[in-house]
Amino acid sequence: MRPHVMWDERTKLFRIWYSGGEQYEPDAIGYGTSPDGVHWTKHPSNPVFGPGTEKVFDQARVTGCQVLRRGGWHYMF
């Protein structure tokens, strides 16, 4: 659900971050890459971002991210 896709000119790959988890209840962010935008490979460490610890604002879910690249860093919002 809620994918965010960007083209990485340096690596010549599409990158995707997406919400995943239980049916109709995404609770983590997954990541994958594709050379053509059709055939995707999931990152081996999925999910790459999950809920926080107890008593923090994101303790139950994380979902619907947007990613920006600035220099050598990717920033997720």
Confidence of residue 33 (pLDDT cuts 50, 70, 90): very high
Predicted pLDDT of residue 24: 74
Whole-prediction pTM: 0.81
Predicted pLDDT of residue 16: 96
Question: What range does the domain containing 49 cover?
Answer: 4-76
Closest CA to 76 of 15, 9, 1: 15
C-alpha angle 18-20-25 in degrees, rounded to nearest 5: 130
Provide mean pLDDT across the span 38-46.
94
Distance CA 68, CA 75 (A): 5
Predicted pLDDT of residue 58: 66
- The pLDDT of residue 13 is above 90: yes
Distance CA 23, CA 27 (A): 10
Q: How many domains would you assign to the chain? A: 1
